[in-house]
Amino acid sequence: MGRTYFVDDAVGQYLSTLNTKGKPFLTGLFVGQSSSQKDYVILATQTPPMQDVGEEAPINKKGSLQQDGQSEEWAAEHARQVSRMLPGGLTVIGVFIVTPTELTKEVQALLQRLVFAVEKAVMKGKLWAAGEEDVSDRVALHICSTTKKFVCRTYDVRDHKCSPKPADWKYQNGVSASWPCVECAISVDIHIPVSEVSTSQTLEKNIQNGLARWAKQVNQSVCLINGQLKCEDSELLEGQKKNVRGSGHHSAPTFVVQLLKPMPQTSEERSTAAVQVCSSSINLKGAVFCRAYLHTNKPKVKDAIQALKRDVCNTISSRCEMLFEDLLMSESSSTSGAEKEFHGLPKRVFVPLTGSSVMFCDYMFGDELAADIQERFSEMLDYDTDDLQLDMSKEEVADPDAFKNSEGEKEELKNVVTDQSKISKIRQNVGVALAAAVTLVAVAFSVLSFSD
C-alpha cells in the first residue's frame, strides 16, 4: 500500500493556476511534513524562471537565483534556498512537473532525476543526518495542464535504483491550521580553531567541522518542555485543551523548550587542555531563536525535540553559509596581525502562512529592508506578503561595540563593518570576525589571526 498525502486546499488552487504557456514543462517544489503514518503538504512553489544571462548559476547573498543553468540543477538550487526558509519540522517533501501532455517516459525520467537532485541539494551541508525512523519517500506529482489530470508517485531517496510507487493525493481544508509549535532561545558559544588553509582542508571545511562538533552537543542536550522533563515516547499534546495558549494563529498550542547541555561523562570529554596548531580561530557567541512545528496526528515528544534541535543546527549553519557567500563575493581588503573584525550575520524574521499556524522564516542582513524580504518570499516561495506580516521582534541587529565591551577589549576596535558592501573577502591568515545579532544577546562569529 502506497503513502497518502493530505494536501491543503490552497495547494490545489495554486496548482490549478499553473500553465506551461508554450514551454515544454514547468517544475516546482512541495513543502510539508512526513510522519510514519501520514504525510502533509502545506505549500507548493514553482521553480523561478531561468534568465538567459550566462552559463553558470551562482546565488547572491540575498538568496536570489541569478544565472542560467540546467533544469535539474536550477530546481535543486531553488530547493536549497527554500530549505533555508523553513522552520524545524518542515522540509521539501517532493517535486511536481506540469506539462501540456499526459505523462510520458521522458517526463517520468525527469521527475525521478528531480527528486534525487533536490534531496541531495537540501541535505548538503546539514549538521545532522537522517535516521532510520525518518521517512525517505518523496512525492513526485505530474499534472497535465490540458486535461487537469494528475499522477502521484513516490521515490525512496535512499535507493537510487528504486521504482516509483503509487500514492494517494487527497485535498483537505486547513491541513496546518492548528499545528502545535515548539520554540526556544538557545545560547551559542562556539570556538573553532582554523588550521593552515591548504588544498585538502579549506577554511569552510574547518568551520563545518567545528559546527559539527557543536551540533553533536546540541543533539545530546536534555530538553525541558514548559519547564518539565517529559517521556520522549509520550504524546506532545497529552493533557492539552483546545483553547490553550496559542501563537496567535487558530489557537495552536505553543511549547517553550529549554535545551540543557549534558555534563561530560569521560575524562576526555571533561578535558579542556586541547592543543591544536592553527593560524586563526573563530568564535561564535550569543543566542538564537528557534522554532519547529508538528502535525496534530498524535505527535510524540521525541519528534518535537528532534525537529527543534534540527532547527537549531540549521539556523546556525544557514547564517554562516550566507555570510561566507557574501564575503566571498565582496571586494577584498587586507588586514594583518592579531586584529579582529566584526561583521553582521543576518537576523531571523518570520512570516505567517495564510490559513495556517505555521510561520516560514528568512534571514535579513543589516543593510536590507522589509521590501527585500517580501521580494525573496515572492521569488523563492511564490508567496506574496506585506511588511505588516513580518515578525522581526524575535532577534535584533548586533552592536559591535557590545562585543568589544563584553570581551574586555581596551584597544580601539578596528575595521568594524556595518556596510555589507565593504565586507572583506576571506583569505588565508587574514583575521576576520563575524558578529550577528539575535534575541537576548548579540551573536559574534569572530576569526582572530595569529601573527608570526
204 in the same domain as 157:
no
Region of poorest pLDDT, from 70-79, 147-156, 416-425, 433-442: 416-425
Tell me which of 136, 153, 172 is where a domain ends: 172
The boundaries of the domain holding residue 144 are: 4-172
Region of poorest pLDDT, from 118-127, 264-273, 418-427: 418-427
Report the pLDDT value the prediction gives residue 367, as an integer from 0 to 100.
Answer: 85
304 in the same domain as 165:
no
46 vs 341 pLDDT, higher one? 46
CA distance 17 to 9: 13
CA distance 28 to 293: 23
Amino acid identity of residue 299, one-letter, is: P
Region of poorest pLDDT, from 30-44, 100-114, 250-264, 373-387: 250-264
Tell me which of 172, 191, 221 is where a domain ends: 172
Q: What are phi and psi of 79, to 5 degrees?
A: -65, -40
Residue 108 above 70 pLDDT? yes
**Strand 347-352 vs strand 359-364: parallel, antiparallel, or unpaired?**
antiparallel
The cell for 356 is 495556517
CA distance 303 to 311: 12
155 in the same domain as 205:
no
197 in the same domain as 157:
no
CA distances to 99, 101, 175 from 147, in Å: 10, 8, 26
118 in the same domain as 71:
yes
CA distance 96 to 116: 13
CA distance 64 to 80: 11
Residue 425 above 50 pLDDT? no
SS3 assignment, position 319? helix
187 in the same domain as 168:
no
- The answer to whether the CB of 383 falls within 8 A of the CB of 356 is no
167 in the same domain as 88:
yes
Report the pLDDT value the prediction gives residue 222, as an integer from 0 to 100.
Answer: 94
Tell me which of 117, 144, 172 is where a domain ends: 172
Q: Calculate the average pLDDT of the chain.
A: 79
Query: What ranges in 95-236 are assigned the alpha helix state H?
Result: 105-123, 203-219
208 in the same domain as 161:
no
Residue 276 above 70 pLDDT? no
Any idea how long the chain is? 452
228 vs 327 pLDDT, higher one? 228
State the CATH number of the domain containing residue 116.
Answer: 3.40.140.10
329 in the same domain as 257:
yes
441 in the same domain as 310:
yes
> What are 172-223's pLDDT values in tens digits?
999 999 999 999 999 888 888 877 655 445 677 888 889 999 999 999 999 9
How many domains does the chain contain in total? 2
153 in the same domain as 132:
yes
Report the pLDDT value the prediction gives residue 22, as an integer from 0 to 100.
Answer: 80
Q: What are phi and psi of 324, to 5 degrees?
A: -65, -35
- The answer to whether the CB of 117 falls within 8 A of the CB of 72 is yes
Nearest CA-CA partner of 385 in 415, 416, 357, 360: 360
301 in the same domain as 164:
no
